[in-house]
Amino acid sequence: MFQLNLTQFTQEEFLRDYWQKKPVVIKQGFLNFEDPISPDELAGIACEEQVQSRLIHHADGKWQAEFGPFESYDHLGEENWSLVIQALDNWSEDAAKIIEAFRFIPHWRLDDLMASFATPNGSVGPHMDKYDTFICQGSGNRRWRVGDNGEHKEFSAHTALLHVESFDAIIDEELEAGDILYIPPGFPHEGKSLNNSMSFSVGFRTNSTVSLLSAFADHLIDNDQGNELIVDPNREATQHSGAIDSKDYLLIKNQLQQLLDNDDAFRSFTGCYMTQAKHEMDLVPNEEPFADEDVTEILSQTSLLRLGGLRAFYFTDTVEQGICYINGSQVDFDSSITPVIKLLCDNVCVDSEALEPWKENPAFISFVKAQLDLGYWYFAE
């Protein structure tokens, strides 16, 4: 288990003083940090078809980038390159445990766990991100420079690499295993590996208004909602047929506003949207459905684990009514099992002791069976 070792500030002070405000190095944020996955294993994962990965190479000021899956790394030499893998939490249970240290930030804000292996002088180049990132240094060392936010000119160093022009550093530090660099969105940064090194970045992001609105429109279409037309039975004659007067402008604006003000509809959309998988998952649906008695027996012996990358949330306002959201869908359950559903949404792993009061509850057994069948949850070995 990876546990945050905060000595400079508390979680509350971090959120007050740094979160979304300014970058900071958390020295030895993890004590005795060991890579949860080896460079060889990482390289192997990047050979898989479903995994999003990139190789970035630079020499003599020229940047190259290729997208995985990769067949070999033999042509790359000993330095100047790095391998980056998105959504490692979907492919490595051990690496996913790093995310657990950041549960003081609600996980609807989570994007993914990104990992990188870099050889000496390997880097993805100076750039800015749209997300908050906690870069956790694993084995080896990297020198990180971070500039202040503000106007920074971006340019394409390669079709797949958006870089930023040189910047003055407000942070310039060599990180060692267990150090964490937090960078809010919009702060230019560049990490250069000093030797063979690994890093694990936990990224948090929100969605742009336009992507939220567009997804909301898709949700309305899929659910045959939002078909109401404007009605105006009390219209009065106008002298200016070319004008949209202020009353009519409000009528049009309210048409949209009413949809957003319909909390049942908007909450349902938000729950589905926020739980949509961000990256492909390693889904293995259960082939042989479990019998109720088997579920009860296994639950009394072993933990229930959530698949890496699976998103499961509830709204504090509606969970007591028996509503939660899992992997892009609304799931209704008997409200008597609300406490254990909250446990499953709040934690990736729930042990048999916590499940003891629920293991014979028919509503819970049927919930668990449905999730096992989908491959969303599984029993620990």
Positions in the binding site for Co ion (CB under 5 A): 129
Six-digit token string for 83: 């391998």
From the centroid of its chain, how far is CA 320?
A: 26
- Closest to ligand SIN by CB, 57 or 359: 57
- Do 267 and 330 form a contact (C-beta atoms < 8 A)? no
42 touches ligand SIN by CB under 6 A: no
Tokens 């702060």 sit at which residue?
A: 187
The residue count for binding ligand SIN (CB under 6 A) is 10
Choice between 126 and 271, CB closer to ligand SIN: 126
When the beta carbons of 111 and 275 are compared against ligand SIN, the nearer one is: 111
Which listed range, 29-37, 129-137, 215-223, 349-357, lies at the site for ligand SIN (CB under 6 A)?
A: 129-137
What is the spatial distance between Cα 191 and Cα 127, in angstroms, rounded to a whole number?
A: 10
Q: Which helix (H) or strand (E) holds 57?
A: strand 53-59
**Site for ligand SIN contains 135 (CB under 6 A):** yes
Peptide bond into 69 cis (omega under 30): yes
Among 52, 82, 275, 296, binds ligand SIN (CB under 6 A): 82
Residue carrying structure tokens 């690496």: 95
> Which CB atom, from 129 or from 331, has the smaller least distance to ligand SIN?
129
Binding characters for ligand SIN, 228-267, by CB under 6 A (x = yes): ----------------------------------------
133 sits near ligand SIN (criterion: CB under 6 A): yes
Among Co ion, ligand SIN, none, what does residue 201 contact (CB within 5–8 Å per kind)? Answer: ligand SIN
Name the residue nearer to ligand SIN (CB basis): 89 or 129: 129
CA atoms within 13 A on the CB side of 22: 8
Find the part of the chain contacting ligand SIN (CB under 6 A) among 100-108, 128-136, 249-257, 300-308.
Answer: 128-136
Q: Does 52 bind ligand SIN (CB under 6 A)?
A: no
Element of type H or E holding 49: none
Nearer to ligand SIN, 163 or 189 (CB): 189
* CB distance 363 to 370 below 8 Å: no
Among 52, 53, 90, 116, binds ligand SIN (CB under 6 A): 116
Do the strands 154-158 and 161-164 form a parallel or antiparallel pair, or are they unpaired? antiparallel
CA–CA distance, 23 with 25 (Å, rounded to integer): 7
- Can residue 92 be called a binding residue for ligand SIN (CB under 6 A)? no
Q: Which one of the spans 70-78, 127-135, 268-276, 358-366 is the region binding ligand SIN (CB under 6 A)?
A: 127-135
Residues 165-194 that bind ligand SIN (CB under 6 A): 189, 191
Work out which of 37, 95, 124, 345 binds ligand SIN, going by CB under 6 A: 124
Asked whether 57 and 18 are in contact (CB, 8 A), the reply is no
Euclidean distance between CA atoms 305 and 293, whole angstroms: 19
By CB under 6 A, name the one of 199, 270, 275, 303 that touches ligand SIN. Answer: 199
Q: Which does 303 bind (CB under 5 to 8 A by kind): Co ion, ligand SIN, none?
A: none
| Residue 8 beta carbon to ligand SIN: minimum distance, rounded to whole angstroms | 22
CA Rg, the chain, in Å?
24
Q: How many CA atoms lie within 13 A of 16 on its CB side?
A: 5
Q: Is 330 helix (H, G, I), strand (E, B) or coil?
A: strand
Region label for 281, one of left (φ > 0), alpha (ψ between -120 and 50) or beta (otherwise):
beta
Q: Does 201 bind ligand SIN (CB under 6 A)?
A: yes
Burial pattern 186-196, b for ≥16 Cβ within 10 A else e, equals ebbbbbbbbeb
Pick the closer one to Co ion by CB: 129 or 179: 129
Which residue ranges make up the site for ligand SIN (CB under 6 A)? 82, 116, 124, 129, 133, 135, 189, 191, 199, 201
